[in-house]
Each structure stands twice: as C-alpha cells, then as structure tokens.
Amino acid sequence: MAGLIGGDFAVPTGADREFFEKHLARWIRRFFVDLENVKSADFYARVGALGRTFVDVETEAFALSA
C-alpha cells in the first residue's frame, strides 16, 4: 500500500483504492478488532487498536473520494 500511495509504483490513479477494496476491505478490520481484543498480550492488543484505527480512516477516506 505504501508504494501505491507514495507513487513508488507506476500504476493508474486509484490503484490503492482498488487494491484495498479487492484484497483487504473484507477482512482486515475484523482481524485488527480480534487482535485488539487479545487479553493475554497487551502489545498485540495495542497493535490491533492502531491497525483498526488506520483501516477505519482509510475506509472513510476512500468513501469520500467515491
């Protein structure tokens, strides 16, 4: 995603959105929510919270540009 967003790859405009929707959107938020709810590993719970927040921001940003 970083290469798509940062322009490191020669791809058409909107390729980052297409990649997100096609390969990540269906499962990635659920993954981070599950990780966030891990009670036995505080570090991974925090990684889950950060990841979920990032996915929420990306989802909202892509919805605005539609």
Give the Cα separation of 40 and 19 in Å (integer). 33
29 neighbors 59 (Cβ within 8 angstroms) = yes
pLDDT in tens, 37-46: 998 999 999 9
Angle, helix 42-64 to helix 28-36, in steps of 10 degrees: 150
Check whether 66 has a pLDDT greater than 70: no
Which pLDDT value is given to residue 45? Answer: 95
Q: What is the pLDDT of residues 2-26, one digit of tens each?
A: 777 777 888 888 888 898 999 999 9
CA gap 44, 35 in Å, rounded = 6
> Which pTM does this prediction carry?
0.78
